[in-house]
């Protein structure tokens, strides 16, 4: 059995999830990979914006 994915999105933050929304509209098969376990997890450390 061969698994095929059109696009792999690295990082499941806001930008990665937004990319997933656009890919779904284009009807592409995609995977979103993130270092954190589980969907929609927030990163424990926050950085201050300038």
User: Domain residue spans in the chain?
Assistant: 1-35
What 3-state DSSP class applies to 31? strand
Average confidence (pLDDT) over 33-46: 63
Structure tokens at 29: 């098969």
Report the C-alpha gap between 10 and 45 in whole angstroms.
Answer: 19
The contacts found for 1-8 with CB under 8 angstroms, 24 or more apart, are: 4/29, 5/29, 5/30, 5/31, 6/30, 7/31, 8/33
> Tens of pLDDT along 6-39?
999 998 788 888 999 999 999 999 998 887 765 5
């Amino acid at each position: 059995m061969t698994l095929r994915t059109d696009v792999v999105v690295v990082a499941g933050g806001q930008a990665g999830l937004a990319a997933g929304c656009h890919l779904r509209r284009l009807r592409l098969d995609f995977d979103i990979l993130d270092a954190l376990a589980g969907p929609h997890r927030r990163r424990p450390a926050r950085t201050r914006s300038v």
